[in-house]
Amino acid sequence: MTFSQQQTLSREPRRLLVTGGAGFIGSNFVHHWCKQYPGDRVVVLDALTYAGNRNNLTYVEGRENLRFVHGDICDRPLIDTLLGEEMIDTVAHFAAESHVDRSILGPDAFIRTNVVGTFTLLEAFRHHWKRQGQPTSNNPSGDGSTYRFLHVSTDEVYGSLGPDDPPFTETTPYAPNSPYSASKAGSDHLARAYYETYGLPTIITNCSNNYGPYHFPEKLIPLMCINILLGKSLPVYGDGQNVRDWLYVGDHCGALDVVIHRGQPGGTYNIGGNNEVKNINLVHTLCELMNELAPHLSVRPSQKLITFVKDRPGHDRRYAIDATKIQAELGWTPAETLEGGLRQTLEWYLTHRDWWQPLLSEEYQAYYRQVYA
């Protein structure tokens, strides 16, 4: 019996607010939660900026227990209204500006969404938790023990590792090197401070690079996959020796499920895939898989498309996650191998052209030229 099946047998239904639930990881989490806990109420809040896509939720939006709200996490009156009228007990906070390249070109949006937006959510949830989750004269039966604020963050807050450095742990000092990672570090500190100062039951997770379905085309794996299908060059930054730890998004969602149910309030959990790979080696693996899975490519073998481009500023050399804590305390380990997860992901992109082709807009093409020219 899986963890989710065990939980379904022994738990009271939850009422979740999922911010950024139309984005990549957020929408995969919504799919996971609706499948595992069909009796729970799920409210998705998303501003539908360039990487938010209502089509990511097509297969779950018809559910009676799911509500979609188009809105901004910086809109305090809206947040207050949703928390109150939906009687939310769990916030799963995914909403974020999340691409390093875009943070270099325009950091303002990253500070607003990742720092100010997280503060707005924390402050609204704190007041809601005090009103609804704690025993008071007006609410004598209040029990805030199941309330949770899950703050989903990144391993990039820890900075860069040398080739022989041990992987990041939950006690690794923060050393962000881009406006994106700095803004996420700031939001992590806020979440921690709200637990230490107010007792708000926050939990922080720091994950390695995710991949899987519904991933916006600007990110490395979908970018390479789509460019191979289009016969376009495969831009690799610098010498391609930068190392990342890759985590299949389905495994990540399973880990977050466990953290919400079993994680310690005030705690931090690193979530990694145990798959450290150099970028250039990953691109070669993607090419090999696409050569196999897509027999009618315009350029074969697709390795011919690999092109090295000027490295981006502040490009961290290596990330690696030590996920010992979540394994030891909560019993979670990733189930998917890198090759198995990549194969599933590429097959999804091959069969969902109707999802990704509309995303290659002129605005996206202009951004692409600006970054990779």
Domain that holds residue 109: 8-214+246-276+315-337
Instruction: Give the pLDDT confidence score for residue 177 in this predicted structure.
Output: 95
Q: Which two tokens stand for residue 77?
A: 């009156």
Q: Is residue 348 part of a domain?
A: no
Tell me the pLDDT tens digit for each residue of 148-180: 999 999 999 999 999 999 999 999 999 999 999
Are 256 and 29 in contact by the 8 Å Cβ rule? The answer is: yes
Q: Is residue 365 part of a domain?
A: no
Q: Which two tokens stand for residue 243?
A: 């190392």
Q: Is residue 308 part of a domain?
A: no
Tell me the pLDDT tens digit for each residue of 260-313: 999 999 999 999 999 999 999 999 999 999 999 999 999 999 999 999 999 989
Q: Express as a percent the part of the chain with pLDDT over 90.
A: 89
3-state class of 212 per DSSP? coil
Tell me the pLDDT tens digit for each residue of 30-83: 999 999 999 999 999 999 998 999 999 999 998 999 999 999 999 999 999 999
CA distance 157 to 34: 30
List CB contacts of 176: < 8 A, sequence separation 6 or more: 156, 157, 159, 182, 184, 185
Q: Is residue 309 part of a domain?
A: no
Q: Give the pTM.
A: 0.94
Instruction: Give the pLDDT confidence score for residue 139 in this predicted structure.
Output: 46
In terms of Cα–Cα distance, which of 227, 364, 365, 363 is closest to 307?
227
Say whether pLDDT at 129 is over 70.
yes
Instruction: Give the pLDDT confidence score for residue 314 in this predicted structure.
Output: 86
Instruction: Give the pLDDT confidence score for residue 189 in this predicted structure.
Output: 98
Instruction: Give the pLDDT confidence score for residue 141 in this predicted structure.
Output: 45
Q: Is residue 196 part of a domain?
A: yes
Q: Is residue 254 part of a domain?
A: yes
How does DSSP classify residue 274? S
Burial of 203 (0-12, 13-18, 19+ CB in 10 A): buried
**DSSP H helices in the chain:** 3-10, 24-36, 76-85, 100-105, 108-110, 118-128, 179-198, 220-230, 249-262, 279-293, 324-330, 338-351, 353-356, 362-372
Say whether pLDDT at 136 is over 50.
no
In terms of Cα–Cα distance, which of 92, 98, 122, 94 is closest to 110?
98
Instruction: Give the pLDDT confidence score for residue 145 in this predicted structure.
Output: 82
The CATH number of residue 149's host domain is 3.40.50.720
Structurally, the chain folds into a number of domains equal to 1
Burial of 300 (0-12, 13-18, 19+ CB in 10 A): middle
Tell me the pLDDT tens digit for each residue of 318-353: 999 999 999 999 999 999 999 999 999 999 999 999
Q: Is residue 260 part of a domain?
A: yes
Question: Could you give the dihedral angle defined by the CA atoms of residues 29, 268, 319 and 253, in that order, rounded to the nearest 10 degrees?
Answer: -10
pLDDT band, very low/low/confident/very high, at 137 (cuts 50, 70, 90): very low
Least confident of 27-36, 108-117, 136-145: 136-145
pLDDT band, very low/low/confident/very high, at 132 (cuts 50, 70, 90): confident
CA 342 to centroid of chain Cα atoms: 17
Tell me the pLDDT tens digit for each residue of 80-106: 999 999 999 999 999 999 888 899 999
In the chain, the largest separation of any two C-alpha atoms, in whole Å, equals 72
Q: Which residues are catalytic?
A: 155-156, 180
Q: Is residue 233 part of a domain?
A: no
In terms of Cα–Cα distance, which of 77, 91, 105, 254 is closest to 180?
105
